[in-house]
Amino acid sequence: MITLKSPREIEKMAESGKVLAGVHLGLRNMIKPGLDTWDIEEFARKYIKDHNAYPSEMGFEGYKFATCVSVNDEVAHGIPRKGLILKDGDIVKVDLTVNKDGFESDSCWSYAVGDVSPEIKNLMDVTRKALYLGINQAVIGNRLGDIGGAIQTYVEDEHHMGDVRELIGHGIQPKMHEEPNVPAYGVPHRGLRLKEGMTITIEPMVNTGTWEIKDRYDKADDWTYYVSADGTPSAQYEHTLAITKDGPKILTIQDPDIDEKYIYHNN
Ligand code: MF3
Ligand code: CO
Ligand code: CO
């Protein structure tokens, strides 16, 4: 069921999103060569607890951690692993959800570890811009296909990169995953019409190579995550947002300057 949220509920989701954004802001300064991915998990746990919230990925379908940490060819749902040390040139994605006072938020960000190759830098730029091109379509009266179509055209036709199909954005609140599905691919003017008060995530995953992914099973943690089928690096950016009369309202803003740079002005 799709539930439409009141301005008051959207405000509460933004409070949750602010805690989540605080984790990402902290990680910006922390992530460098030599960092143990477990330190990311510990930082997130403490930050969220200190802000009177809880990490809702923990316990979700058997997942044991506050963060998903996916390195290089790992596309999504990777695990923070003690002893997995980030090295110069890596790309690392950190995806987490926060619940504050019963309100969910969900946001993933990609980080360059030290100096990354021009290929990875470009991958990050394209994926981040793809997210905002999608967000710019998230206006009342548009359809879900407008969001996905804008992303797919940009990623595949303009940049010849792999636009992952198997994992998709979603409605959010009251649970982390709600209807509708929000694919980062699709056909403009098709699909569900967007209404005021819908809250969704947009979360493109882009590989430099093929869009296809495959499973990888982690025995130690009994968890399956995803890697690019051809081993090429992958990036992801995700925001939680609300459809409002004033346009898309990003609820997981880290830095208004960054969001402002892309939103409204750049399509
Ligand atoms: N945050 C992820 C999403 O964007 C969900 C992760 S579920 C987990 O939908 F169990 F892997 F944590
Ligand atoms: Co997420
Ligand atoms: Co999500």
Whole-number Å distance between alpha carbons of 179 and 200: 9
Q: What is the pLDDT of residue 267?
A: 39
Tell me if residue 248 falls in helix, strand or coil. Answer: strand
Ligand nearest the Cα atom of residue 57 = 1
Q: What is the pLDDT of residue 262?
A: 82
* Atom 4 of ligand 1: nearest residue by CA position: 106
Does the CB atom of residue 60 touch ligand 1 within 6 A?
yes
CATH topology of domain 7-262: Creatine Amidinohydrolase (3.90.230)
**What pTM, to 2 d.p., does this model score?**
0.97
Could you tell me the two tokens for 135?
Answer: 């967000």
Domains of the chain, residue spans: 7-262
Q: Please list the ranges in the chain whose pLDDT falls under 50.
A: 265-267
Which tens digit of pLDDT belongs to each residue from 7-60? 999 999 999 999 999 999 999 999 999 999 999 999 999 999 999 999 999 999
Chain centre to alpha carbon of residue 185: 15
Whole-number Å distance between alpha carbons of 37 and 163: 26
Does the CB atom of residue 68 touch ligand 1 within 6 A?
yes
Q: How far is the CA of 237 from the centre of ligand 2 (A)?
A: 9
Does the CB atom of residue 221 touch ligand 1 within 6 A?
no
Mutate to test the pocket of ligand 1, among 24, 67, 68, 203 (most ligand atoms within 8 A of CB): 68
Residue numbers in the known binding site for a divalent metal cation are: 95, 106, 170, 203, 238
